């Protein structure tokens, strides 16, 4: 049920990209506390993107999940920014995160909703 969409203006070679999304799937599962079988990670790269008026390397992350506790978003922001820095060498000042708390009835999987 959690989905992580990463949009960036950098280009990541295909081998690194596959490792990045696989690693992010495991990381997100642990950070959000949901089984990885439900996690979806999408990477959109090499986009035209400006953050703070500059087109330097940047990342926009959307994190959506059922029962995403808004009391935990500051901790999640810290963890996801650290992950982006570790894996992509992009500073937290160049990472913007949108959190979405999803309703069970508005998310489908395997022919049903949650």
| Residue 110 phi, psi (nearest 5) | 55, 40
pLDDT at residue 114, rounded to an integer = 87
| Residue 98 phi, psi (nearest 5) | -110, 125
pLDDT at residue 71, rounded to an integer = 94
Residues 6+ apart with CB under 8 A from 75: none
Q: Are 28 and 4 in contact (CB under 8 A)?
A: yes
| Residue-wise pLDDT tens digits, 27-48 | 999 999 999 999 999 999 999 9
More confident residue, 80 or 108: 80
- For the chain, give the mean pLDDT: 96
Please give the distance of CA 39 from its chain centroid, rounded to a whole number.
Answer: 10
Over residues 88-114, mean pLDDT: 94
d(CA 73, CA 110): 28
Alpha helix segments (H runs only) across the chain: 14-32, 73-88
Instruction: Quote the pTM value.
Output: 0.93
Confidence of residue 107 (pLDDT cuts 50, 70, 90): confident
pLDDT at 76 over 90: yes
For the domain made up of 3-113, the CATH class stated in words is alpha beta
54, with CB counted inside 10 A (0-12, 13-18, 19+), is: exposed
């Amino acid at each position: 049920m959690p989905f992580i969409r990463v949009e960036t203006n950098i280009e990541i070679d295909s081998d690194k990209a596959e490792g990045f999304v696989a690693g992010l799937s495991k990381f997100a599962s642990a950070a959000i506390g949901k089984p990885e079988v439900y996690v979806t990670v999408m990477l959109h790269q090499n986009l035209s993107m400006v953050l703070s008026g500059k087109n330097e390397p940047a990342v926009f992350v959307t994190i959506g999940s059922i029962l995403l506790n808004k009391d935990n978003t500051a901790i999640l922001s810290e963890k996801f920014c650290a992950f982006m820095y570790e894996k992509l060498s992009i500073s937290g000042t160049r990472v913007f995160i949108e959190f979405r708390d999803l309703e069970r009835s508005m998310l489908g999987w395997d022919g049903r909703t949650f």
